[in-house]
Amino acid sequence: MADNEGLTPRVFIVRHGETEWAKLGRQTGKTDIELTPLGLKQVLTTASHLVGEEKLLDPAKLARIFVSPRKRAQQTLQGLLGFHLNTIQSNGIEVTTTEDVAEWDYGEYEGLRLPEIRARRKEKGLDEEGKVWNVWGDGCEGGEVKDQVKERLDRVIAAIREIQAPCMRGEKAADVLVVAHGVILRAFVMRWLGYPLEMPLNMMLAPGAVGVLSYKNNSVDEPAFHVGMALPVE
């Protein structure tokens, strides 16, 4: 049976726009940094093209929103939905601000660039000869490890599936929006598909970008992601 994209619920994942630290390649977890002017423009441009009635992300079809508590994510949500956000909330659609979708806690690596982290670990003898550190498998000193991240993301995914399971054939609006951060959203995709976080799967998600997850064959037991998605036909 072919997927019915007009009916099957979707999960939109949106990365916040550019920040000064992201622009410099500095690991940004708990640091509460705001969007740059360009970062806000990235979000507004995404919104103008993709958000609205009969567009890719139709606010009228949302059943729930999850957003990171960090300023950069909160600003992104406001810029993305604009006036739609007040309507959504007045209609009783829950907007959940939660640490469960906050960025990976980098601990002692906060603010460092990738080469600096790897050099630091080499000096401390934390990595075997020839091994290169990556956050997915190794976690962060004083911060989170993969199992902690997996636990909180799995909690969100379980809540989403509970919302969407009764709506696999469009019984009611059940799209979900998650506004968060680059690394945690890539981890979210891994867990959505049931993959371990350390499994090698190169992914990219640009600042202000939108990814789309859903299900094959209108089945909640077949989570999938859209490699490409056509825009709605007017």
Binding site for substrate: residue ranges? 28-29, 72, 103-106
The CA distance from 42 to 174, in Å, is 26
Who's near 111: CB < 8 A, 6+ residues apart? 21, 26, 27, 28, 31
Angle at 193 between CA 192 and CA 194, to 5 degrees: 90
What would the DSSP string read from start to end of 20-62? Answer: HHHHHTB--SS--PPBPHHHHHHHHHHHHHHBSTTSSB-GGGE
Tokens of 131: 């091994």
Give me the catalytic one of 18, 84, 103, 181.
Answer: 103
Give me the catalytic one of 16, 18, 144, 181.
Answer: 16
The secondary structure of residue 76, as a DSSP letter, is H
The CA distance from 172 to 142, in Å, is 44
Residue type, position 12, single letter: F
Q: Is 16 a catalytic residue?
A: yes
Binding residues are 28-29, 72, 103-106
* Catalytic residue numbers, as ranges: 16, 103
